[in-house]
Amino acid sequence: MTTRATRGSRRRTVVALAVILSVLVAFVVRLIDIQVVSADEHVSQSLEHIGAGSTIPGQRGSIVDAGGTVLASSVMVYDAQLSPQVIMLVEEKDPALPWAEASEKIAAITGQTGDEVRALVANALAENPDSQYAPLKKGLNTEQYIALRDLGLGSYLSLKARETRVYPNGAVAGNVLGFLDNTGEAKAGVEQLEESCLAPVDGEETYRKGKDGVVIPGSEKVVDAVDGGTVQLTINSDLQWYLQQMIGEEAQKQGAKAGTVTVVEVATGKIRAAAEWPAMDPNDLDSSTPETRYSQIFHRDFEPGSTFKAITAAAAMEGAGLTPLSTVTASSRETFPNGAVVNDAFTHPAYNYTLAGGLIDSSNVALSKFGTMVAPEVRYDYLQKFGVGEKTLDFPSEVSGLLHPVSDWDSQSLYTTTFGQYFTVTAPQLAGAYQAIANGGEKIDLSLVESCTGADGTVVDAPKPQHEQIIAPQTAADLTRMLENVAVQGGNADRIQVPGYRVTSKTGTAQVSDGNGGYKAGVYYTSMVGFAPVDDPQYVVVVTLDEPTKVVSSAATASAFQKAMTQVMKTYRVMPSSVPMDELLPKFG
């Protein structure tokens, strides 16, 4: 028989089991809700900060010259700031290093005075008694950062790291190197041209955090940054430095607005110097003007004038079978059958000019007659072959020059195109044209970049330049001989001699556009181009002066050309000429 006590015990057990079962059922229902029914919602809530992390910045690559000298690099600098309010709170606690002493130590490191540092804090507090920020000094180097850190003032002195671009040689090749804007974006020059090599790939550190901000263990992932590569240029920075100093002096001596020197290696087409004045220092953009922040060597085009008479001669020799001794009769002023009038730069009677003599005396009339012995279409083709109208490197801001189609040539330009007018070129295009003459008629595309070396050491050479035989070797040899006679018999002969070396030369005096379809009166863009040594051509040198005022003719460039060619021969230790010059070519038939 079951007693009352026994029945009561069983009843309590059943109730307890029922309660436990109810709780378990509730837990199961809740788990199903959490894990199945409302799973997406709860995961979203619990992982509110999924994917949180930070960027790991990569470092922009360097630019070096042909010998490895660093021309541009990125370094870490530090911006220091103070918390005036915290300084006052610390002062109330009688610190081991009182603010009066601390400010002196800080100033000694940052290059300020103690009074200046204390004034920064006092002024900030005067404006806002609760001020948390007072800028101390920007652009501190690593040594200064360590010294400030070691003062142990981290409670109110903070240092924020940032990358900045520096150019160790200042303005040397500055216009070619280009610059970055204040956001770090490349805006000109090689910095922009080689962005794909120089630009880093930022890394990333990611992790998952719960709603309470705690990082979930094991969720951390790190993708390392990849630094930018190193761009090696063809430029010789020592030669570049000398030529920049020299052309600056020469341009100012001649009262010119600007001046340039371009040096190209004959056998390779590599640009060894691209010097200009005014020069831009990428470290100090504020000291330059918008016009001088870009390379005028690539950005400025001009009518080449008489320097392109050699190309007219090439077209006439190959298209009409002329030789250096072929002749025409030319006066200093002539009216042609179509009504065009052509003048020479000096008055003279009718001469029976040889082709060589027409180049030596730079007779516009003679070259007009020689040049029109071939069809205009033939001369147009030769201008194209020699690079007129095409960019040399696709350099940022580079212009292509202007070559009008033959259909646009009128009665006057039919002749002026024979002596370098009615089309424009850049200094590199002019250098490239003479590179082809010096190289036996083989034109090689100009180059400025040697290679890109990645952060992992992988070297990617620049694409090989194209080679094209644009004139016959004998034509190039005849042109070279005539251009040497220009250097020896021309009006600048005494001023351009380079002792020990046989040199070619040709001058150009171009009128300057007034922007309204005409020309400025009495001002010119002067140039001189040549190569040396004649018996083994190694380097082409182009010198230009923009509107010289002391000497307005191309003779203004003679001194700069002589100095530039002499320095190039010294820099590359070019052997002096060992083969004597051929007999002089006659000017008249």
Which pLDDT score is estimated for 204?
Answer: 82
Task: Dig out the tokens for 37 from the structure.
Answer: 């029914």
Q: 442: part of which helix (H) or strand (E)? A: strand 442-444
Q: 21: part of which helix (H) or strand (E)? A: helix 4-32
Calculate the alpha carbon distances from 100 to 106, 108, 288, 387, 530 in Å. Answer: 10, 13, 41, 69, 68
Closest CA to 545 of 531, 561, 569, 532: 561
Rounded Cα distance between 242 and 237, Å, is 9
Amino acid letter for position 405 = P
524: number of Cβ within 10 Å: 23
Q: What is the DSSP string of 421-486?
A: -SEEB-HHHHHHHHHHHHTTTEEE--B-EEEEE-TTS-EEEPPPPPEEE-S-HHHHHHHHHHHHHH
Which pLDDT score is estimated for 433?
Answer: 98
Burial 237-262 (b: 16+ CB within 10 A, else e): bbbbbbbbebbbebbeebebebbbbb
Which pLDDT score is estimated for 575?
Answer: 97
- Strand intervals (E) in 482-551: 506-513, 519-532, 539-546
39: number of Cβ within 10 Å: 12
What is the mean pLDDT for each group of 10 consecutive residues in the chain (589 residues)? 57 68 68 61 51 74 98 93 94 92 96 96 94 93 93 92 92 97 92 96 78 68 88 98 98 97 98 97 92 93 97 98 98 97 97 98 98 98 98 96 97 97 97 98 98 96 97 98 98 96 96 84 94 98 97 94 98 97 97
Rounded Cα distance between 72 and 63, Å, is 5
Which pLDDT score is estimated for 223?
Answer: 84
Rounded Cα distance between 534 and 523, Å, is 33
Contact 443, 435 (CB under 8 A): yes
- CA neighbours closer than 13 Å in the CB half-sphere of residue 75: 15
DSSP 465: P
Which pLDDT score is estimated for 370?
Answer: 98
DSSP 400: -
Burial class of residue 217, CB neighbours in 10 A (0-12, 13-18, 19+) = exposed
Contact 59, 200 (CB under 8 A): yes
Amino acid letter for position 8 = G
Rounded Cα distance between 343 and 363, Å, is 8
Closest CA to 41 of 49, 33, 50: 33
Task: Dig out the tokens for 49 from the structure.
Answer: 């900060």
